[in-house]
Structure 1
Amino acid sequence: MTTKIKALIVDDEPLARKGLAVRLQEFENIELVGECQNGLEAVSTIPQLRPDLVFLDIQMPGLNGFQVINKLRELQQPIPIIVFVTAYDTYAIKAFDIHALDYVLKPIDEKRLKASIQKVTDVFGQNSEGEQKVKLAKLVAEYTGDDCEDILQRLASGEAIDNKRYPSILAIKDGSEVTRVEVDDIQWIDAAGDYMCVHASDGTHIMRRTMKELEEELDPRKFVRAHRSAIVNIKYVTKMVSHVSGEYHLVLSNDTELKVSRSHRDKVKEMIRI
């Protein structure tokens, strides 16, 4: 007798859970052991039931699908084989084909579900299962603070997702003192000779670093080079103004104006969604 694969459904939509549960009855090697209506419930249920397979919705309130997996990793719990469930077909195809993970789309297509179950059956109990989990962990490990829909959109557009973790604190040394500045509080940075002026909510700090070094240390999703000698935190930009001369300026929430050079204009526009 073939060992049955214990499956769990995690989805915040009752009709989606019911529909998938009915379809899974058609597969003799799948045993549905439970259902969860949100990510928090999944985090507590998965260690208890120890399913072999989880059909995991991505877009859920509270904890999204990525965050569920990362929470299990934090708790040092075994991660089952994951089949993501999503309504975003373009995003899913790009995201999960790239990372060699499986997925099913809402509404569930019978042929697609059958192919997914076959894939799970093929890797179940084999070494390739471990490989799938490693790739899964790489996909979600860095994204707990991001909106999952934004992640999928960026993958769908072909944008490279940088897995680098950026520091939340910038340590600024001044003689024998070191000042710790929250990166999110930095409004903009400009060059003054061999020094950098870091303008933050609590005032201006001087540090001896190059613009290139600082740029590499700051999250490019939050900070953008406005011109050769200035980096700005998009969070503090209130508007972008074009002048008769053809020049563009950024206006920050504290009324500071920063010139945008021609070579950096397109990137700045993209960042502030113009």
Structure 2
Amino acid sequence: MDRSVREHAIERAERQAQARLRTIIVDDEPLARRGLVLRLAEHADVDVVGQYGDGAAAIAAVHTQRPDLMFLDVQMPGVDGFEALRHIPAAEMPLVVFVTAYDHYAIRAFEASATDYLLKPVDEGRLAQALARVRYARSQRDASGHCAHLLGLLGELSGREPLGLDEALRPDAIEQLRSDNKLAVRDGNRTVRIDLGSIRWIDAAGDYMCIHTDGETLILRGTMRELEKQLDPQRFPRIHRSTIVNAKRVVELRPHTNGEGYIRLDCGQELKLSRTHREKVALLI
């Protein structure tokens, strides 16, 4: 084979591989999963790399499989679809198509905030339309913007809008931190005093942030820079443009390519250490 022809063939194969959609399906109903797999088999660019029956498995799968797309059932026992989203770091969030039997009020929220939604039982025509939207979204994708939409959806369906940090953080927050090692945050109409030691990591997407603690995940509207002002950078270093970590919760550091790395927390969560923040290694080991 002529070298130029061979090179073009390789480039074409690489483009095709890059265009494929690594997909996971998360639904507690085996028949629903099987039906969706059969329908997706009609779409040559979709590779189903995993099927899972609950939100906890979905969280782990997103980390290990690094899917491009997740079909996510909203209503599942235990960790449901919304709770699963709260525990997926922004940097790992795939495109999400909700699979739901929710009413029309919630569907309007899906239309505004999700890549797409599918009503059960899944219609082949609507699935094709959803995949077309997914392909377009991936070609235009701003990962932070996508995550911000999802977090906004969580706020809308929870019945309260996330507060801005200027509202959420008490004016005496710095003094509070110095006196009793707690961060006071208003969540809706309540004030939550978070033990700093219970914070695992904080990640951001667009105008929203998630504070992941041992007990729950709080969603706030604001920027990483605003929250950084309230935290000791020696204890809570920024390891990525969208991630702050509690250094005491780090149990393992693993180098990756191009100066990047991964850190593992004592809860099992892995987070990326970006090249621009690799000087923070000294704080993590």
Identity percentage of aligned residues: 35
Asked if residue 94 in structure 1 is aligned to residue 108 in structure 2, the reply is yes
Counterpart CA distance in 1 for 2:114 and 2:58 is 23
Residue of 108, 133, 137 corresponding to 1:123: 137
Return the alpha-carbon distance in structure 2 between the equivalents of residues 71 and 115 of structure 1: 28
Aligned residue in 2 for 1:37 = 53
Higher helix proportion (structure 1 or 2): 2
Aligned equivalents of 1:15 and 1:153: distance in 2?
A: 29
The 2-side partners of 1:62 and 1:52 are apart by: 25
Aligned equivalents of 1:220, 1:42: Cα separation in 2: 28
Q: CA 1:54–1:219 in structure 2 vs 1: closer, same or farther (change >3 Å)?
A: closer
Separation in 1, partners of 2:89, 2:63: 11
**What residue number does 2:121 align with?**
107
1:152 to 157, 163, 175: 157
The CA deviation string for residues 57-102 of structure 1, in whole angstroms up to 9 with x for no partner, is 122222222222221217x5x1111111111141343102222531
Q: Where does residue 56 of structure 1 map in the other structure?
A: 72
Q: Is the 8 A contact 2:95 2:146 kept in 1?
A: no
Please tell me whether residue 26 in structure 1 is matched to residue 42 in structure 2.
yes
Contact 2:113 / 2:150 at 8 angstroms: preserved in 1? Answer: no
The 5 Å alignment of 1:137-216 reads: 137-141=147-151, 151-152=156-157, 154=159, 161-164=161-164
Report how far residue 109 of structure 1 moved: 1.4
SS at match of 1:12: coil
Pairs aligned (count)? 169
1:82 is matched with which residue?
A: 96
Asked if the contact 2:98/2:114 (under 8 Å) is kept, the reply is no
Structure 2 runs not aligned, ≥5 long: 1-12, 173-178, 192-285
Provide the TM-score with structure 1 as the length reference.
0.51
Relative to structure 1, the CA distance from residue 47 to residue 218 in structure 2 (aligned partners, 3 Å threshold; closer, same or farther) is: closer
**Aligned equivalents of 1:109, 1:163: Cα separation in 2:** 38
User: What secondary structure does 1:118 align onto?
Assistant: helix
Q: Given residue 66 of structure 1, which amino acid in structure 2 is its aligned partner?
A: F
Counterparts of 1:112 and 1:153 in 2: how far apart (Å)? 27
Q: Deviations over 1:153-188 (max 9, x none)?
A: 85xxxxx734447769998xxxxxx99xxx9xxxxx
Q: Using the alignment, how far apart are the partners of 1:167 and 1:153 within structure 2?
A: 17
Q: Once superposed, what is the RMSD of the aligned Cα atoms?
A: 3.6
The answer for unaligned runs of 5 or more in structure 1 is 155-159, 172-177, 184-216, 224-274
**Aligned partner of residue 93 in structure 2, secondary structure:** coil
Q: Is the 8 A contact 1:99 1:135 kept in 2?
A: no
Structure 2 counterpart of 1:6, from 15, 22, 26: 22
Hey, what's the Cα distance between the residues in 2 that align with 1:70 and 1:152?
13
